[in-house]
Amino acid sequence: MVLNRRNFLLLTGVGIGTLTLGTFAKSTLAQSLNDGSEGPFELPPLPYDYNALEPYIDEETMRFHHDKHHAGYTKNLNKAVSQYPELANKSAEDILRNFDSVPADISTTVRNNGGGYVNHKMFWEIMSPDGGGEPTGAIATAIVDAFGSFEAFKEQFNQAGSQQFGSGWAWLVLDNNKQLKVMGTANQDSPLMQGMYPIMGNDVWEHAYYLNYRNARGEYLKQWWNVVNWTQVNKRYQQAMA
């Protein structure tokens, strides 16, 4: 083969490209081994398909919400606790319950990402493609006792979500006196940090609804009741009471 200028450039281009690709692959592998993906906290899989909650929550939202946002909280929490082995031996819930003891240099990271990790673990579980309707069992009785009716509870819960300025959550919690109450928290703050147990919560960050509902948070809050897994909510309530 005559090695003219064109052939020379093609050959050297391939060689350089291969070398660059190999270097990139090694760099990417090194990063993946040190990016905090490994650690005591694992990203839980969704308990249903990405499109299972449609039309109320769309597939694209679920993919980004779980695979990007929740995965990011998991990774960042692992990186934070890797600096303190004593924290790695605790559950994320216990870390948040004892947040005042978290070292100051990682407290903001743990607050945001530990909260995001725990909040979303619950969030996936309390939704179902077979959800919706009204609660039954112990939680149904407790809601009526606390709020007067299921409809009154829904109205108060939706109000907490719609009035949460910016990003945050609407919650039904069990307080220190084992009484149900509705509350809102900013960002990824968990009720566990205030000594309360989250029975159920709705994510009102824009990434939870904006692809489907745009800026109509109120409509998202209304439609979300169609996917609430009351069996799981009732289980959380009974466990908390026990």
pLDDT tens-digit series, residues 161-202: 999 999 999 999 999 999 999 999 999 999 999 999 999 999
Structural domain contains residue 125: yes
Residues above pLDDT 70, as percent of the chain: 85
Mean pLDDT over 122-132 rounds to 98
CB 167 within 8 A of CB 196: no
In a domain, 241, yes or no: yes
pLDDT number for residue 25: 36
Distance CA 96, CA 87 (A): 11
- Whether residue 55 is preceded by a cis peptide bond, meaning omega within 30 degrees of 0, is yes
Q: Is residue 142 part of a domain?
A: yes
Task: State the pLDDT confidence band at 8, using cuts at 50, 70 and 90.
Answer: very low
**Count of residues making up the chain:** 242
Q: Is residue 17 part of a domain?
A: no
DSSP 192: G
Instruction: Tell me if 106 is assigned to some domain.
Output: yes
Neighbours of 28 (CB within 10 A): 11
The verdict on residue 21 lying in a domain is: no
Enter the pTM of the model.
Answer: 0.84
> Domain span at residue 86?
54-242
The rounded distance, in Å, linking the Cα atoms of 161 and 108 is 24
How many Cβ atoms sit within 10 Å of the Cβ of residue 176?
A: 9
Closest alpha carbon to 70 in 48, 102, 37, 105: 37
Q: Is residue 199 domain-resident?
A: yes
77-126 confidence digits (pLDDT tens) = 999 999 999 999 999 999 999 999 999 999 999 999 999 999 999 999 99
As a whole number, mean pLDDT of residues 32-41 equals 63
Distances from the Cα of 56 to the Cα of 26, 128, 204, 210, 233, angstroms: 42, 11, 14, 12, 19
Domain tally, the chain: 1
Q: What is the CATH number of the domain that holds 209?
A: 3.55.40.20
Predicted local distance difference test score (pLDDT) of residue 38: 84
210 part of a folded domain: yes
